[in-house]
Amino acid sequence: MPRIFISSLGCPKNLADAEVMAGELAGAGWEVVSSETEADAALVNTCAFLGSAVKESEAEIRRLLALKKRGLLKKVVIAGCLTERMKGALLEKFPEADAAVGPGSLREIARALEKGGLLLSPQAALEAPPLKLRLTAPHSAYLKVADGCDNRCAYCLIPSLRGPFRSKPLEDAVAEARLLAGSGAKEISLIAQDTTLYGADLYGKPALARLLRKVSAIKGLRWIRVMYAYPERVTPELLRVMAGAENICRYLDLPLQHASDAVLKAMNRRSTEKGLRRTLASIRRLLPGAAIRTNFIVGFPGETDRDFARLLRFVREERLDNVGVFKYSPEPGTSAAGFPDQVPETVKTERMNELLAAQAAAVDALNAGLVGKKFEVLMDSPRFGRTYRDAPEIDGTVEVAAAAGKKPRAGDFLRVRITSARGYSRKGVPC
């Protein structure tokens, strides 16, 4: 049986695509292995959202092609967003690659590997994959409920790379959740470019609350997590559904991007600072104890010192649980790339560092309130785990001290008392 190594870069949404391709390859007789040293071929699933992601993807392609040149791999195939972004130019740049597959051709990956060339198909309706091979830890899985995006943010390439927003039918999404639970997943994270828009294209209005009700009824699922929620679509109905089910994590990933009205308008976001604060207050009122993760962009074209000061004040006052900060990157093909008043790189770096320092102070204050509290912790390894406040791979961890006579395993839930907290790393003891 031929063996293939899969390298998936970028976000969990990309990893979900890699699992679809892994399933197709397994169905075609390939064995998916965890190291390129064991493989006959390699697949790199690329990210191309930002220039830095393009560089990372190209570096991984070069690394795998170097192994092919040395005779350690027979074939290398490229998939994902970089294929859609570069199209035919990708194989011109990397002629040693055997094939390139776009996001609309995931199920053609086995044919591409066999016959080679470029496969770019239109983005079709989203359905539950007939074949899927999990690439995550056995106890934690991603459920992709939609793809594409209609938001048209000025800095973002996703609509051109992924096409229009397309939801997976409710019955298919629930059936896939059952399969994931049956495969051993105790935690499922719902993902899409905009999970809060889920179902609007199929049912005339968003149906995330309906989906959560059905998924939360599946036996064996201890944690259900909502990622990538657009702040203006976080409704009281959604929050009440989340609050009403014990196995829905009181956690929301809300990409806010900025807090200055002027910058948000230039970004083509629907948000205002007042609206964002109102949304956060609603979450904290209707979903007590909620952990909120977000991302901010600094140095967007035209961002003034006053705009940044508003963002800085927002971060200091709102005390968000987990924050990622990105320097604005002008991506060809986005409207913002041609905006005047581009911010110098040195200013972007200064603002990023200042915002990170403000968030570090906020985390210190939050940590002070965690010490001494007891949490259920899902172990990702015998030593490290996560509370409901932390999504897999991207948020904080809890280092759990070993209990006498008992060694936890990955996938175990433990009751843990937090004994210390520094930054996003916490320590605790079983209790």
The strand pairing partners of 42, in sequence order, are 5, 76
Task: Round to whole Å and give the CA distance between 411 and 68.
Answer: 37
In angstroms, the Cα distances linking 324 to 252, 255, 285, 341, 359 are 14, 9, 24, 24, 9
In angstroms, the Cα distances linking 189 to 13, 136, 215, 221, 286 are 10, 12, 11, 11, 21
State the pLDDT at residue 250.
98
Q: pLDDT tens across 151-181, in order?
A: 999 999 999 899 999 999 999 999 999 999 9
Domains in the chain with CATH codes: 3-119 (3.40.50.12160), 140-365 (3.80.30.20), 374-430 (2.40.50.140)
Q: Strands 117-119 and 3-8: what pairing?
A: unpaired
Q: What is the CA radius of gyration of the chain?
A: 22
In angstroms, the Cα distances linking 430 to 289, 376, 399, 402, 412 are 21, 10, 11, 8, 12
pLDDT at 404 > cutoff 90: no
Stronger pLDDT, 235 or 126, i.e. the higher one: 235
State the pLDDT at residue 403.
76
Q: What is the mean pLDDT of the chain?
A: 95
- Give start and end residues of each alpha helix (H) in 96-166: 109-115, 158-162
Rounded mean pLDDT, 73-84: 96
Rounded mean pLDDT, 63-82: 96
Rounded mean pLDDT, 53-72: 97
State the pLDDT at residue 126.
74
State the pLDDT at residue 402.
83
Rounded mean pLDDT, 28-53: 95
Task: Round to whole Å and give the CA distance between 26 and 4.
Answer: 9
Strand order in the sheet with 140-144: 140-144, 187-191, 223-226, 248-253, 291-298, 322-327
Per-residue burial over 27-54, b if 16 or more Cβ lie within 10 Å, else e, is: eeebebeeebeebbbbbbbbbbbbeebb
Q: pLDDT class for 322, splitting at 50, 70, 90? A: very high
Rounded mean pLDDT, 5-25: 95
Task: Round to whole Å and give the CA distance between 20 and 18.
Answer: 5
pTM of the model: 0.93
CA torsion, ordered 147, 152, 157, 159, to nearest 10 deg? 30
Q: Strands 99-101 and 3-8: what pairing?
A: unpaired
Task: Round to whole Å and give the CA distance between 259 and 269.
Answer: 11
Helix (H) or strand (E) holding 288: none
Q: Strands 223-226 and 75-80: what pairing?
A: unpaired
State the pLDDT at residue 120.
82
Q: pLDDT tens across 239-264, in order?
A: 999 999 999 999 999 999 999 999 99
Total H helices, total E strands in the chain: 14, 19
pLDDT at 130 > cutoff 70: no
Residues in contact with 256: Cβ distance below 8 Å, sequence separation at least 6, in sequence order: 231, 271, 276, 294, 295, 296
Does residue 184 contact residue 139 with C-beta atoms inside 8 Å?
yes
Rounded mean pLDDT, 423-431: 93
State the pLDDT at residue 119.
85
Rounded mean pLDDT, 264-280: 97
Task: Round to whole Å and give the CA distance between 409 and 20.
Answer: 28
pLDDT at 405 > cutoff 90: no
